[in-house]
Every structure is written in structure tokens, then in C-alpha cells.
Structure 1
Amino acid sequence: MLQAIMTQPGTIEFREVPIPEVKSNQIKIKIKRIGVCGSDVHVNHGKHPYTSYPVVQGHEISAEVVEIGSDVKHVAIGDKVTIQPQVVCGKCYPCTHGMYNDCEELKVMGFQTTGMASEYFVVDANKAIALPEGMSWEQGAFIEPLAVAVHAVRRAGDIKGKRVLVLGGGPIGNLVSQTAKAMGAEAVLISELSPYRLEVARRCGIKTVDAQNEDLLEAIYQHFGADKADYIFECIGINPTMKQAIDYARKGSTIVVVGVFADLGAINMGFVQDHELSLVGSAMYREEDYIKAIELVKEQRIEVDLLVTHRVKFGDYAEAYKIIDEQKDKAMKVIIEMEE
């Protein structure tokens, strides 16, 4: 089978490699679509702190099951699936208490272990999540990032009837905004610099504030009133927006940190203490988040198609990163299309 290998930052080579044999508890899947995410871009730039080279990327996928092991009962040949990419120890405190996304020895396919950027992939059957027959392959590749958003919203707590501010209008910020709205938030406001991403957010039914030309604090009062936001989601991973989240929170607000920070955070802990703010981290997802994400797409409560800005063939994998680097904020989600 053909496999895309990033041999060093910015360099992808294609190699013919044997397809692993399917063990009794495993399945073989034919990859259909692969989404490129921000963490993949960090790897391409050589700036991901926990990834070494060579590495096979690919963790946002949809696929068809083409072979099953003798002990596999819940997955059948021909099923549409996506895959949970976490590889966990199963023994540490988080794993034994239902929090395997926080495994002490966590590895993620495409970063610390082999990802799915290949024509076929063999994986433990318990990693597979069934997709509805009517869901497109492209929508199926969105379930992983949408599960990130679902998990983040659940980390906030009961969001029904609450006012939500999202900082960052990239794919994750957009999906967090849509998920909060779909799960019952009274009002959702997204703050973003890019005119293009603001327009996409509006087309997805989310109210926006142009952070480049509007005063964010004034916009918060305008949309939420004097009580400001109940929940603030930081979805970029940079100090300026983390500072905004803390400075503009009302006393007693909850701030959910979704963005991945490359630099050490420099935040006003005085405000956190004096204002009784709750700082909550959100890391990846669990199976129940996948199930909810699938439900939201199936019920058409989340718009994912508008987030796809570019599509490239598997053989042009490197072109995806070129598009992202050159188009920047106008490249919301780039999808790798496999040969049918």
C-alpha cells in the first residue's frame, strides 16, 4: 500500500509498504478522507514539541471496513467508520477512571505513533466508531475535530441558557461555537480577526465581533449585557487572547482552555483569584463525545460543509500544507481525498 511519510519538516515522501496482518481483535480499513488540522501544521513546520521524524500523519479520518479479525463482533465489513486516534496504557489513574483521554502515557496516531495517511490501516477494533450510512466521507472526517468541540463544551458544564464567548474563529473555534449553540446556549458570540473566518461563522449562524476593528469589551456588553459571558472558550492558544479571556470575564465566569499553547502562558492570576474565575482545561475527547458529534451532524444541527475550503488528492499531500501556509486564514479545513 502507498503511505505518506513526513521524513523531516516540510518534506513528504510516498513509499510502498506492506499492509499489516489483521489480528483477531483488529480491523483493516480503507481510508477515504483525511482532514488536516492545526497540530499537523505544527509538525510540518517542525514546531510540534512531542513529535519526531519520520512520522506518518493523519488522525481526522473516515474509512470503510474491508477486513475484520476473528474476534470482532461489533464491526462488519462495509461499515463506515472513523477512528479514535489515542493509544493509551489502560492502567494509570485517568485510564482506570474513565478519563483515558488524559492517559499518563498517551500517544496519538500521527504524532507519537503511526497515523492513518495511507491507503489502508490496521487498527484495534475498539478504536472504531460507526458512522451513519447517509453521512458523507467528508462529514465523517469532521467527527474527530467536532468531538474536540463537544468535549470542550461538556467541560464547561451545563451550558443551557448560558451566554458564551468564543475567542478564535478557526475550525475548532467555529465548531465550539456551533456546538454550544446546538447544546442549548442562549447566546453565542465569536471573536476573530479574519474577515473570511468571520463570514464563515456568520454563515454558520453564529454572531460575530470583528476583533480587528471593534472593541471586544463593548461587543460583550452589547450582546450579553452587564452580566457579560458565563463561559469563555479560548480556542487559539496564545497569550493575548488568554489575557482577554481573564480581563473581560465577569466575576464567577468559567474559562475553558481549548487552544494548544506553544509558549508558556502569562496570565493575571490575581484576577483569577479575586474574581473567583474557574480555569478549565480541555484535552481531546472520549467515545461519548464522538457519539454526540455524530448525532449533531446527523440531525443537521452542526454545519461542517461550509468549513471545507480546499480539497487535494492523496498524491498531492504536500500541496495541502502549501495551501495552508499561503492562504492562511482562508484555508479553514483542507481535506485529503483518497482514490476511490
Structure 2
Amino acid sequence: MLQQVMTAPGHIEFREAPVPAPNAGEVLVKIMKIGVCGSDIHVYHGEHPFTKYPVTQGHEVSGKIAALGEGVTGFAVGQKVTIEPQVYCGRCHPCTHGKYNLCEELRVMGFQTTGTASEYFAVDAGKVTPLPETMTYSEGAMIEPLAVTVHAVRRAGDVRGQKIAVLGAGPIGILLAQSAKALGAAQVLITDISTPRLELAKACGVDFAVNTKEHGFGEALAECFGPDKADVIYDCAGNDTTMGQAIRHARKGSTIILVAVYAGMANVDLAVLNDHELDLNTSMMYRHEDYLEAIRLVNEGKVRLEPLMSRHFPFRDYLAAYRYIDANRETTMKVLIDVDESEA
């Protein structure tokens, strides 16, 4: 089988490797589609602090079961599936208290351990989640980032009837805005400095999309939500500007949740955070229940993934996909790698 290997930043090789035989308790998956994530781009540029080379990438993935290892039940050959890429110890305090996404020894496929960018991938059956047969493989490869946003929305508790603001209209921001609406938010505002991204957010059903180059964030909150502003603000951009906007303009006593990976040390006004008794929370990846909810939301038509699919590249054109993303940052949402091009 063909396997992708990033040997160094900016360098990808394709190697022939034997098709793995699934061990007891494992499932062999024929990989169909792989989504390219912002973290993958960091690896491509040599900027990911926790990834060493060589590494086989791929953690946003869909496929179909090719074989079952001994003792595996509940799955069938040919079944559509996705893979949850977290590798956790199961022994530490977070793991034993249901928060394995915070495992003290957490590794993620495609970063600290082998990813799914191969024609076939053998994996523990416990990390395999079935997909509805009506779901496309392209949609299946986007369940992972959608699960990130479902988990983030749930970090605020029950958002039914609430007014939500999202800073940053990248893939995660638009998926989070859709997730909040799908989980019952009354109204959602999204902001960015890119008009194409904001237009896409509106096309995906977001209530308000505001360019903060033209209108201040505080002004946007008041105009869209009235004097009581937002109940929850999500930072999906992760920089001093957006976090500063959130802290400065949040309603007193409300909640801010950081979803984006913050680059470097933050320089924000904690005095205002304290004085306004704001709850500053964070969100880290997902758990199995978030995958199940993400699948449900797509299957019921409550979240639209297709508008976010910017372009497909054949498996051997992995490097071209990265170069395309670098050259089209403002207009690119989700690029998909077609490991198998025979099915959508």
C-alpha cells in the first residue's frame, strides 16, 4: 500500500508499505478521504511544537472497514466509519474521570504517533465510529473538526435561547457558529476581517456576520444583540486582538471560551476580566459523545459541511494541497485529500 511520510518540514515522500493485518481487537480501515487541518499546516512549516519528523499525517478521516480483527463485534466489512485520533493512557486522573481528551500522556495520530495517511490503516476498534450510509466520505472526514466545535459549545452548558458571538470565521469558527445554532442558540454573530469568509458564514445560516475592519466588535454586539450583548463569546482566532475584544466588550458576568490554539504568551487585560467577573473558559478537542452528536447534526441537516469544502487533491498531490492552502489562505476553508478517488 502507499503511505504518506513527511520527512522534514515541506518535504513529503510516498512509500510502499505492507497492508497491515488487524490484530485482535483491531479494525482494518480502507482510507477514503483525509481533511487538512490548520495543525497539519503547522507541521508542514515546521512550527508544531509537539511533532517530530518523519511523521505520517492524517487525523481528519473517513473510510470503510476492510477487515475485522479477532474478537471485534458490532462492525461489518464495507461499513462507513471515521476514526477518533486520540491515543490516551487510560490511567491518569483525567482518563479515569471521563476526560481522556485531557490525558496526561495524550498523543494524537498524525502528530505524536502514526496518522491515517495510508491506503489502509489498522486501529483499535474502540477508536472507530460508524457513519450513516447516507453520509458522504467527504462529510465523514469533517466529523473530527465538527466534534471540536460541538465540544466547545457544550463547554458553555445549555445554549438554548442564548445569544452567541464567535470571533474568527475560519473553518472552526463557522462550524462552531453552525453547531451553536443547531444546539438551540437563539442568535449567532460571527466576526472576521475577511469578507469572503463572512459571506460563507452567512450562506451557512449564521444570523449576523460583521467585518471588524469596518465596525468595532463592541458596536457589532450592541447592534445585533441589543444592550445585553452576548451570553457567550467564543474566540476561534486565538490572538491578543480577538481575546482583547472579547474581554473589553463582554457583558459583565458573562462567559468567554477560548477555542483556538493561542500562539505564544497572551498579553490581555486581566484587570477588566476580574473587574467584570467574566468567566474565561477553554475547550480542548472532544470526546466520543461529541463525535456522536456531530454525526447526528449532519445527518439531520442541522449543520452543512459541503459549503466549507474548498477543493480536493489526489493522494499523491498532498504537497500541492499544502501549497494551495498557503497561496489561498483567505478563501480556503477545508481541503480534502482523496486517498481513494472512486467514491464521494
Interval containing the TM-score (normalised by the shorter chain): over 0.9
2:60, 2:145 within 8 Å by CA — same for their partners in 1? yes
- 1:121 — aligned with what? 121
- 1:111 — aligned with what? 111
- 1:208 — aligned with what? 209
AA at the equivalent of 2:32: K
TM-score (norm 2): 0.98
- 1:227 — aligned with what? 228
Q: CA deviation at 1:258?
A: 0.3
Q: CA deviation at 1:136?
A: 0.4
- 2:239 — aligned with what? 238
Q: CA deviation at 1:18?
A: 1.7
Among the aligned pairs, what percent are the same residue? 54
- 2:159 — aligned with what? 159
- 2:45 — aligned with what? 45
Write out per-residue CA displacement over residues 71-118 of structure 1, whole angstroms, 9 at most, x where no aligned residue: 101221111100010000000001001000000000000000000011
- 2:89 — aligned with what? 89
Q: Equivalences for 1:172-321 in 2 at 5 Å?
A: 172-206=172-206, 207-321=208-322
Write out per-residue CA displacement over residues 294-334 of structure 1, whole angstroms, 9 at most, x where no aligned residue: 00000000011000111100010111100110011111110
The 3-state SS of whatever aligns with 1:41 is helix
AA at the equivalent of 2:291: Y
AA at the equivalent of 1:249: A
| Partner Cα distance (2:122, 2:232) in 1 | 40
Write out per-residue CA displacement over residues 156-214 of structure 1, whole angstroms, 9 at most, x where no aligned residue: 11101111000000000000000001111111000011111111101001120011222
Q: CA deviation at 1:261?
A: 1.1
The 3-state SS of whatever aligns with 2:159 is coil
2:20, 2:120 within 8 Å by CA — same for their partners in 1? no
- Tell whether 2:13 aligns with 1:4: no
- Tell whether 2:140 aligns with 1:135: no
| Partner Cα distance (1:218, 1:251) in 2 | 16
| Partner Cα distance (1:120, 1:209) in 2 | 43
AA at the equivalent of 2:312: R
Name segments (4+ residues, structure 1) moved above 3 Å. Answer: none
Q: CA deviation at 1:337?
A: 0.8
| Partner Cα distance (1:48, 1:212) in 2 | 30
- 2:30 — aligned with what? 30
AA at the equivalent of 1:214: H
2:33, 2:62 within 8 Å by CA — same for their partners in 1? yes
| Partner Cα distance (1:24, 1:233) in 2 | 42
Q: CA deviation at 1:20?
A: 2.4
Q: CA deviation at 1:217?
A: 1.1
- Tell whether 2:326 aligns with 1:325: yes
Q: CA deviation at 1:19?
A: 2.3
The 3-state SS of whatever aligns with 2:215 is coil
The 3-state SS of whatever aligns with 1:328 is coil
- 1:150 — aligned with what? 150
Q: CA deviation at 1:21?
A: 2.4
TM-score (norm 1): 0.99
AA at the equivalent of 2:111: F
| Partner Cα distance (1:55, 1:279) in 2 | 35
AA at the equivalent of 2:64: E
| Partner Cα distance (2:271, 2:216) in 1 | 24
AA at the equivalent of 2:333: M
Write out per-residue CA displacement over residues 233-258 of structure 1, whole angstroms, 9 at most, x where no aligned residue: 00012111111111111111111110
| Partner Cα distance (2:237, 2:21) in 1 | 40
Q: CA deviation at 1:263?
A: 1.1
**Structure 1: stretches of 5+ with no match in the other structure:** none
2:29, 2:120 within 8 Å by CA — same for their partners in 1? yes
| Partner Cα distance (1:91, 1:19) in 2 | 31
| Partner Cα distance (1:194, 1:11) in 2 | 30
The 3-state SS of whatever aligns with 1:67 is strand
| Partner Cα distance (2:76, 2:301) in 1 | 26
